[in-house]
Structure 1
Amino acid sequence: MEPTEDKNTGNKILVAEDNDVNLSMLLDMLSIMKHKVVVARNGQEAIDLAKTEKPELIIMDISMPVMDGLEATRRLRELKEFSNIPILALTASAGNDGREKCLAAGCTEHLPKPIQTKELFEALGRNLPTQ
């Protein structure tokens, strides 16, 4: 899907993903909309980079080494500056149980893998600040 000219371009997005194939797909999708992307390879890196880079949105894989995405999300939500930042959870668990765990941890939305371009663009449109 080719995105239409959109007000939601050029935002800083933190992508936390440890799988090279999934990361490459996400980076390709986000580059279409000219977003500035910062990459973390585990939950602890995601927290550290979020503090220094101040992203406008975080795309968080749930299953990662060192610290999983659920714990990273919980810890970010404890910090005042990240209490309202949209966090989109990516998980291979498409069922309601996986979705509920993500939302309970503080994720804004749950997107099942493999991520579809249309679903990602729609989620970004709902969650990124307009410019």
Structure 2
Amino acid sequence: MKRILIVEDGELNRDLLIQLLEEEYALSIATDGAAGVEQAAAQRPDLILMDLSLPVVDGWEATRRIKADKTTAGIPVVALTANAMSGDEEKARAAGCDDFMTKPIDEDLLFAKLRGWLG
């Protein structure tokens, strides 16, 4: 079973992702960017769903740290953001995100992206 780390501080979004994914994937949860970086290194998930607006360390910086560590650099990071402003996708990719999705979460798009990254 493929492992996904969900880094999301919003309870409603977190609960929705768990509900959508728990039957097909082994899930881990972090509620801030610092915990996300730690869990990525400790667990080496197959993919990370990264909220960009996080407490402690934001998702932009957490992604930079994950991509700067040779043990976690190869893990695909999919940015999740409600801040779908012009230029945000480019900014997320510049921080190291491999893919980008806006909230509210489109279930079909989410599963299509997961299939693309995880097979």
TM-score by length of 2: 0.96
Alignment counterpart, residue 91 of structure 1, candidates 81, 89, 98 = 81
Write the distance in 1 (CA, Å) between the matches of 2:88 and 2:76: 18
Moved segments of 4+, more than 3 Å = none
- Worse-superposed segment, 23-32 or 106-115: 23-32
- Mapping 1:23-62, distance limit 5 Å: 23-32=14-23, 34-62=24-52
The amino acid that maps onto 1:92 is A
Structure 2, unpaired ranges of 5+? none
- Greater Cα radius of gyration, structure 1 or 2: 1
Structure 1, unpaired ranges of 5+? 1-9
1:82 CA drift (Å): 1.7
The amino acid that maps onto 2:44 is K
Q: How many residues get paired?
A: 119
The amino acid that maps onto 2:15 is S
Write the distance in 2 (CA, Å) between the matches of 1:95 and 1:121: 23
> What is the root-mean-square deviation of aligned Cα atoms in Å?
1.0
Alignment counterpart, residue 124 of structure 1, candidates 111, 114, 118 = 114
Write the distance in 1 (CA, Å) between the matches of 2:88 and 2:97: 11
Write the distance in 1 (CA, Å) between the matches of 2:39 and 2:114: 20
The amino acid that maps onto 1:20 is E
Identity %: 39
1:95 CA drift (Å): 3.4
The amino acid that maps onto 1:64 is L
Write the distance in 1 (CA, Å) between the matches of 2:84 and 2:116: 20
